[in-house]
Amino acid sequence: MSEQQSGIAGLRQDLDEVDSGIVRLIAQRSEIISAIAQVKEQGPGAIQDPAREQAVLDGVAAMAADLGVSASLVRRIFRELIGDSVAQQARRLNGDATGHRVRVAFQGVAHAFSDAAAQKYLAGRGLDGDLTGYPTFRDAADALLAGQAELAVLPIENTTAGSINEVYALLREHDLFIVGEETWKVDHCLAAVADVPLSAVTQVLSHPQGHEQCAQFLRSMPQAALAPYFDTAGAMRAVAERRDPAAAAIGSPEAAAANRLVILRRNISDTEDNFTRFVVLARDAAPVDVRIPCKTSLILVTRHEEGALLRCLEVLSGSGHSMTKLESRPRPGRPWEYMFFVDFEGNVANPGTAAALDELRSAALYVKVLGSYPAKALREPARSGGLPAAPQDESPAEMLEAVAAAPAAPAGRSRHYKLVDRAARQADTVIRVGDVLIGGDGFAVMAGPCSVESEEQINATAKFVRDHGAHVLRGGVFKPRTSPYSFQGLGWQGLDLLVAAGRQSDMPVVTEVMAVDQVQRMAKAADILQVGTRNMQNFDLLRELGKVDRPVLLKRGLSSTIEEWLAAAEYVVAQGNQQVILCERGIRTYESATRNTLDLSAVAVVRERSHLPIIVDPSHGTGSRAYVAPMAWAARAAGAHGILVEVHPEPEHALSDSEQSLSPPEFAALMRHLAGIPASPARG
């Protein structure tokens, strides 16, 4: 054995010891959870505490950041641990028997995603299973109805391709009940019998959902015909049996390995967050202890009259039930009439939920309850942009308190906009970006470099601004510069670096989009699409942004009035995208002491006239790092919902806007004092 091999062997032995220790710690954690469940069993309280879970996730993410470990990875691991803990407590409260074998039907063959989801569900319930795969969803449901299986695990929706219509049809047609749900992260790869170039592949086999979830990748292989197959794992097996190097299959890496195939490309899904939600079906409904967080699913047919659906939904909202899904389907035999599939948080065993369902039956034409079951697929709770605690030795200025209490002037109506007008909506619009809320009472800090210059630069900046309280990572990848000889940005490569840094630091990202043909591609990666000052009245661009489901940060034009600015926002909102964030970044005046004149009075005017959130960019507003922090503090006092600040690890070496970029210590000082500034109350 060479010296290098000996060194690797020793390191692998160390790694094995660490891995064994992790498993032992998980077992120890499970024992503690069991003891907690025993205590909770004696009381009436719910087993799940969202605030406690969020605190745990935030705590381990902060620890990961201190240790130089991926916070995103640690959060994913602990979400799984928390989910397993809730399932463990739920089993005890519900009196579920563990250890016995259940017959489970699924669609596909061994190593299919449905197979993996079924095994995950059984493990969470402490059950052993005899799993049988069937060619179609209907075959699996028929096996359940015929008594050949006790449970059936079927996919019902995917975060990329959407809902599985055939499974919804089965729920409508048959007496099947949902008794559980499970989620699975779908990791698609392309595999073949030999390591061939993609250009040599002439046929790609997969389930139609697999093709749909990888559509963007498949467009890069125009020479390859798509061959639908009943299952992704079955497609892998078929390719292995054919031994044809020109045939490939889309499926899981595990299925490729099981069939001894060569993986040609990994991670080919259109989106990284590609999850499938599975429902667990049974012939009878299963009662669930009221202390277990539950969802209830139902089919709803409304009366054919004006406002009928609204009245039904008001029954749920008025009784305190949060709806998690609403989907329409054509009503069989009744052209142009529709039924609705509804999911909401609640348990039919709870008297309040039972009463709401009785009221709903009176309001609707038809209600079929598909079951109440322990909830797994829930969005991560959102959090308002928070700030570090104010230093104890600093008190807010009385002058700022007087400004915050000043009465608002009456709003003037405009002929140029109506949807963004305060008269159209009295309540402030609050926009969710990842798990951050922008608007309302929150204050969001968006920070990062003017331009993404390198992987090292953006990663270092992301980590620092996150650790000091920033909520969103900013970075330019396409840069509109006054001079054609100035740095124009890294383009799409820069976008990849920005998105990767955002994921690593667990922050959503904002970047500027400059052209209509960039919108769709950028919307698939960036969390907020920024419209720069020069494009504020690029109406074709604004219309295109109104067609995508992404928040838009609209900067004020160099010499634009507030009226023109709000009219520009109307272009986006009128196309259907209500997620517009306004950004005051200074206007051009005769004054030359600063790069622009930062019009902080615009914050008060906009909050009076519009329901849209407004933030301030003190970096471009002043052009001088010496003035950025004071103007950021003033923006908070004026009532802004956040700030957009440029931060660079070495401002003197920045490729763009070096004069206005803050160094890390300067940003830390800004954030340290920001919490001591009182926010102005809402003007709506």
Across the strands, what pairs with 342?
298, 326
Measured in whole angstroms, how far is the alpha carbon of residue 304 from the centre of its chain?
35
Q: Tabulate helix, strand, coil % of the chain (nearest 5).
A: 40, 20, 40
Strands of the sheet with 203-206, listed across from one edge? 225-228, 203-206, 247-251, 189-192, 262-265
**How far lies 349's CA from each of 88, 294, 301, 371, 373, in Å?**
20, 10, 23, 11, 11
The whole-angstrom separation of Cα 313 and Cα 363 is: 10
**Cβ atoms of residues 564 and 609 within 8 Å:** no
The alpha carbon torsion through 617, 621, 627, 630 (nearest 10 deg) reads -50
The whole-angstrom separation of Cα 296 and Cα 449 is: 46
The whole-angstrom separation of Cα 228 and Cα 208 is: 6
The whole-angstrom separation of Cα 367 and Cα 345 is: 17
Catalytic residue, candidates 78, 106, 113, 278: 278
Write out the two tokens for 516.
């209509």
Active site residue 276: yes
Active site residue 278: yes
Query: Smallest Cα–Cα separation from 371: which of 143, 156, 164, 160?
Result: 156
Radius of gyration of the chain (CA): 28
The whole-angstrom separation of Cα 560 and Cα 588 is: 9
Query: Smallest Cα–Cα separation from 552: which of 527, 586, 525?
Result: 527
User: How many alpha carbons lie under 13 Å from residue 451 in its C-beta half-sphere?
Assistant: 20
Q: Residues near 212 by Cβ (< 8 Å), separated by ≥ 6?
A: 160, 161
Instruction: For the chain, report the end-to-end CA distance as a whole number of angstroms.
Output: 75
Per the listing, tokens 């406002």 go with: 307
Locate the DSSP E strands across 65-127.
101-107
Task: Name the DSSP letter for residue 379.
Answer: P
Full DSSP string of 138-183: HHHHHHHHTTS-SEEEEEEEETTTEE-HHHHHHHHHS--EEEEEEE
Write out the two tokens for 588.
């051009």
Rounded to 5°, angle at Cα 422 from 419 and 424: 45
Catalytic residue, candidates 137, 160, 217, 276: 276
**Cβ atoms of residues 167 and 138 within 8 Å:** no
Full DSSP string of 596-618: SB--THHHHHHHHHBSS-EEE-H
Measured in whole angstroms, how far is the alpha carbon of residue 302 from the centre of its chain?
31
The whole-angstrom separation of Cα 445 and Cα 671 is: 9
389 three-state secondary structure: coil
**Residues labelled catalytic:** 276, 278
